[in-house]
C-alpha cells in the first residue's frame, strides 16, 4: 500500500493489490475521518494502524463514496465508527453487497473476516458538512459511476476525494453516462488544488483541466461510437473495433485493467441506448 500526505492532516492511500483503488484520511486533534476503505482487509488494517499509531487518533467517522466492495467492505475494521453514505448506498449494500460478499468469501479466504457494516447516517441530495479539527468536509452527491456516488471536498484545502465519479478511465457499467458527464463537469468548475480519484494517482492543480477534458472527450467518444453501432445490424461487432485509443485514452491506466473496463463500458452503454436510457444529447 502506498501512502502520501496531500496537505496538513490529509493523507491518501493507494492499493498495490487491487486496481490502484484509493482511500483517504482527514485527521483532527482527537479523532479522524476515513474516506473509503481499501479492497482487502490487510490494507484497510494497515491504514488503521497508521492512523492510530502514527497520527495518534482513532477513527470516528467512515465515509463510503459508494457501495462497491473496494470502497466499503472495510467498514467492519473501524468498530464504533459512524458510517456516512448516500441513502441509496445503504440499500445497495443490503440488496447486492451482502449476497456478493457471501459469494466472494467462498473464493477468497481473506474475505471471511469481513462483515458488511451498513451506513448509519445517510442523505440523498444537497450537501452535508462535517467539521474535523480546523477543516470542513463538504459531502455531496456525485453520480454516474453508480447511483449512490458521493464526493468529499476538504473545503479549506480545495482537495476533492471524488470517489469513482473521477477515474483515469470513466467507468459507467453500474451507472449512467449522462450523470457521470454532469459530475465531471461540476468537478471541473470547483476550483480545486487536487483531485483524489477513486482509482489511480492524485491529480495536481496544473493537470486538472486536461484531465477533465480528456474524461469528457472519452464520454463523448463512446456515446458517439455506441450510437453509430446501435444503427447497425452487427452492433457488437462494430463496437469490438472501437479501441480505447480511438476514444482518446491510453491502455496503460489502472494497472492493465483499462482495456477490459473500456470494452465493458461500450457493451453497457449499447445496452442503455437500446433500452432507451440514454438521453441522446451530447453535453
With binding defined as CB under 5 A, does residue 86 bind Zn ion? no
**Interface size with Zn ion, residues (CB under 5 A):** 2
Beta bridge partners of 5: 11
In terms of CB distance, is 13 or 238 closer to Zn ion? 13
With binding defined as CB under 5 A, does residue 262 bind Zn ion? no
CA distances from 15 to 18, 19, 148, 158, 243 (A): 6, 7, 22, 24, 27
CB of 121 to Zn ion, least distance (A): 21
CB of 143 to Zn ion, least distance (A): 12
β-bridge pairing 121-123 and 82-86: parallel
With binding defined as CB under 5 A, does residue 164 bind Zn ion? yes
Interaction with Zn ion in 23-82: which residues (CB under 5 A)?
68
- Tell me how crowded residue 134 is: count the other CB atoms within 10 A of its CB: 10
CB of 236 to Zn ion, least distance (A): 25
Reading the block at residue 152, the C-alpha cell is 468529499
| Residue whose Cβ sits closest to Zn ion | 68
CA distances from 48 to 4, 45, 92, 108, 160 (A): 15, 5, 25, 22, 21
Reading the block at residue 224, the C-alpha cell is 458517439
Stretches 160-168, 188-196, 208-216, 232-240: which one binds Zn ion (CB under 5 A)? 160-168
Residues 6+ apart with CB under 8 A from 160: 151, 152, 153, 154, 166, 187, 190, 192, 194, 195, 196
CB of 164 to Zn ion, least distance (A): 4
CB of 197 to Zn ion, least distance (A): 11
In terms of CB distance, is 199 or 249 closer to Zn ion? 199
In terms of CB distance, is 70 or 214 closer to Zn ion? 70
Binding site residues, Zn ion, CB under 5 A: 68, 164
Amino acid at each position: 500500500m502506498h501512502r502520501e500526505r496531500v496537505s496538513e492532516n490529509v493523507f491518501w492511500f493507494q492499493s498495490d493489490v487491487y486496481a490502484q483503488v484509493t482511500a483517504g484520511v482527514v485527521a483532527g486533534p482527537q479523532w479522524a475521518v476515513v474516506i473509503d476503505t481499501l479492497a482487502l482487509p490487510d490494507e484497510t488494517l494497515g491504514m488503521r494502524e497508521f492512523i492510530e499509531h502514527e497520527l495518534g487518533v482513532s477513527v470516528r467517522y467512515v465515509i463510503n463514496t459508494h457501495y462497491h466492495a473496494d470502497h466499503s467492505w472495510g467498514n467492519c475494521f473501524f468498530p464504533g465508527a459512524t458510517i456516512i453514505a448516500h441513502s441509496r448506498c445503504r440499500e445497495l449494500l443490503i440488496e447486492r453487497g451482502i449476497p456478493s460478499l457471501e459469494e466472494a468469501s467462498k473464493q477468497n479466504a481473506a474475505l471471511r473476516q469481513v462483515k458488511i457494516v451498513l451506513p448509519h447516517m445517510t442523505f440523498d441530495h444537497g450537501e452535508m458538512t462535517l467539521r474535523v479539527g480546523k477543516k470542513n468536509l463538504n459531502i455531496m452527491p456525485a453520480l454516474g459511476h453508480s447511483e449512490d456516488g458521493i464526493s468529499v471536498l476538504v473545503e479549506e484545502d480545495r482537495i476533492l476525494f471524488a470517489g469513482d465519479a473521477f477515474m483515469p478511465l470513466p467507468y459507467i457499467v453500474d451507472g449512467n453516462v449522462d450523470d457521470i458527464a454532469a459530475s465531471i463537469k461540476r468537478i471541473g468548475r470547483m476550483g480545486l488544488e487536487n483531485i483524489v480519484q477513486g482509482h489511480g494517482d492524485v491529480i495536481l492543480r496544473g493537470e486538472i483541466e486536461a484531465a477533465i477534458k480528456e474524461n469528457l472527450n472519452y464520454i463523448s467518444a463512446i456515446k458517439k461510437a455506441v450510437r453509430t453501432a446501435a444503427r447497425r445490424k452487427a452492433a457488437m461487432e462494430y463496437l469490438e473495433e472501437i479501441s480505447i485509443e480511438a476514444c482518446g485514452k491510453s491502455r496503460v491506466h489502472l494497472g492493465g485493467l483499462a482495456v477490459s473496463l473500456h470494452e465493458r463500458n461500450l457493451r453497457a452503454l449499447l445496452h442503455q441506448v437500446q433500452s432507451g436510457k440514454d438521453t441522446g444529447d451530447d453535453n
